[in-house]
Amino acid sequence: MSARERVTRNTHEFWKATCGIDTHARGSGNARNDTPWVAFTADRKALVCTVWEDQIAKVVDPIDNRTRSFVMLGGKSAKWKGGAVKRGREAEAAISEAVKSRVPIFGFRAVASGDDPAHMTRHVKHINLDHVSVLKPQFGRAPDDPRQRLGLEKELRDRWKSPDVDALNTATLFELVDATGNVPGADWNPLLAPATGTDDAAELRGNALAARIVLPYLVEHVRRQTDGIIEPLTYSDLATMLGRVKADGNAFAQGMGKVLGLVTRLVEAGTRDWPEELRPPHITCIVVAKSGATAGLPSDGVKDYWPGFEVLTPAEKRAKVRYEFDRILAYGDRWLQVLESVGLGSAATPADLDSANGKDKRYYGWGGGESEEHKQLRLNVMARPELFGLKNTLHAETEYPLLSGDRLDVFFRTEARLVGVEVKSIRSADDDLERGIYQCVKYLAVMRAQAFINEPAGALIQVMALLVVQKQLPAALEELATKLGVKWMVLPPGHFAQEIQA
């Protein structure tokens, strides 16, 4: 399935768009009984059928060596009960009427959701609106009957795995040929179709197309992250990527919020049938304002999925966004399934080599792994306990586990001191530096609790947790660290190399 193909998982929308049938007219609870197998368009100028992809028989005709595709429709089975009998009769009558009236019959390929093929009840994974054929009835007589000449009988039965295979005995054989003429639903976008006849329809079409470009771009950006943090994108970054620039070459970011809103709709449409616990977090929140009072935060448009976001304090907003960033990274490879669910593939991006280590950033992996800068800083700090006034170190360890489930970047033990160090490399933005300050507050509390429980009674153990960074903290973060009693140390890039040379 290519990124340009239109697919829908929603049969209600499909039948409404192609035939004007509202399968929820009696309520969504009756949709199963009210969803047809075949139906005429509203003007009765065409018949629409859904064709199971795995029940199409493909054979090579020895006469001209071309591959031909066939399917059986309109039969009836003694195995069917209740609503299936009703829908089967309706399908048989409609197909018979269409064939007699020479009304074109269109077959849309439907892919099953992975149900056991031995069951008669199947569920739609998606219907492909760009993989549609005209169904030509085949009434050839022996020896021209394709069923006999091409050996279709066995091929069709082999593909029909369910117990109601007796439906083939009374079904009509159709050949699938390229669709021509007025295909039902030809102008319908199942995910982002703009309303017709509105003044902003052209703008909405453009934004809908942009949304289908932006979503793989966002997923690819997340995949490149390391050190468990996301470097946000800005609205200007998106505008530049889309080619929306002004005459002076600067990004024209106005309207990016509308595009991101459609990205949210796109994801929701593709995953609406997924279990609640598998639905993705809100990836659009990684796009933030570049400057101003809301710098580093998504616009208040996120209130559409976070009601009340606009009334939170800046600190509360940052905490909420940071938590969502963690969820976005943790979602991992499932983002690729999200892209598949909306008919998109991963962004085909060129290699992007990290200047620090020569590695391809595309394969860092959903925030996992570790940047070379962070790794070297962590190891260099562990090798220099004297930086923290420590002598006669009994134990030094990196990635030291705490009982809270956290891990210290560096841990030192002496006879009288326990020291935990959180390191933030030059890659860390202000948001991650702020996180580091609060991490130190947490680590200090946990280390003190562990010492209280686990160290020998009466032992005079001093516990401390501090932050090591590679650039000066902004004034606001210095003030925050001071208020919280968090000590920090600045070790610029190249510090340890200079130390060795000296």
Fold of 372-501: Trna Endonuclease; Chain: A, domain 1 (3.40.1350)
* Under 8 Å between Cβ of 40 and 91: no
Q: pLDDT tens digits, residue range 204-259?
A: 677 888 898 999 999 999 998 888 889 999 999 998 988 888 777 788 888 898 89
Query: Which tokens belong to 236?
Result: 């200007």
pLDDT band of residue 2 (cuts 50, 70, 90) is very low
Q: pLDDT tens digits, residue range 67-114?
A: 999 999 988 888 888 888 888 899 999 999 999 999 999 999 988 876
The reply to whether omega before 62 is within 30° of 0 (cis) is no
The residue among 23, 50, 24, 55 whose CA lies nearest residue 37 is: 50
* Under 8 Å between Cβ of 33 and 109: no
Residue that is written with structure tokens 């020291």 in the block: 419
135-154 burial, b at 16+ Cβ within 10 Å, e below that, comes to beebeeeeeeebbeebebee
At 367 the pLDDT is 61
Q: Which amino acid is at 100?
A: K
* Under 8 Å between Cβ of 133 and 183: no
Residue 110 β-bridge partners:
52, 127
SS3 125: strand
DSSP 358-400: --BGGGS-TT-S--HHHHHHHHHHHT-GGGGT--S-SEEEEEE
Query: The dihedral of CA 213, 219, 220, 222: what is its sign?
Result: positive
Poorest-confidence range of 107-116, 170-179, 321-330, 346-355? 346-355
- Cα separation, 33 vs 88, in Å, equals 12
Write down the pTM of the prediction. Answer: 0.52
Q: pLDDT tens digits, residue range 357-373?
A: 565 555 556 766 678 88
Whether 199 has a pLDDT exceeding 50, the answer reads: no
More confident residue, 288 or 226: 288
Q: Which amino acid is at 283?
A: I
The torsion angle over the Cα atoms of residues 385, 390, 392 and 395, rounded to 10 degrees, is -50
* Under 8 Å between Cβ of 209 and 263: no
- Cα separation, 213 vs 267, in Å, equals 13
Query: Which tokens belong to 229?
Result: 């943090």
Q: Which amino acid is at 365?
A: G
* Under 8 Å between Cβ of 411 and 397: yes
What mean pLDDT comes out for the span 161-176?
88
Q: Where are the domains of the chain?
A: 7-178, 201-341, 372-501
At 502 the pLDDT is 43
- Cα separation, 306 vs 326, in Å, equals 16
- Cα separation, 322 vs 27, in Å, equals 40
* Under 8 Å between Cβ of 178 and 133: yes
Whether 117 has a pLDDT exceeding 70, the answer reads: no
* Under 8 Å between Cβ of 213 and 339: no
Which of 202-206, 289-293, 381-385 reaches the highest mean pLDDT?
A: 381-385
Residue 137 β-bridge partners:
174
Whether 390 has a pLDDT exceeding 90, the answer reads: yes
The residue among 23, 21, 52, 31 whose CA lies nearest residue 167 is: 52
How many other CB atoms are found less than 10 A from the CB of residue 402? Answer: 16
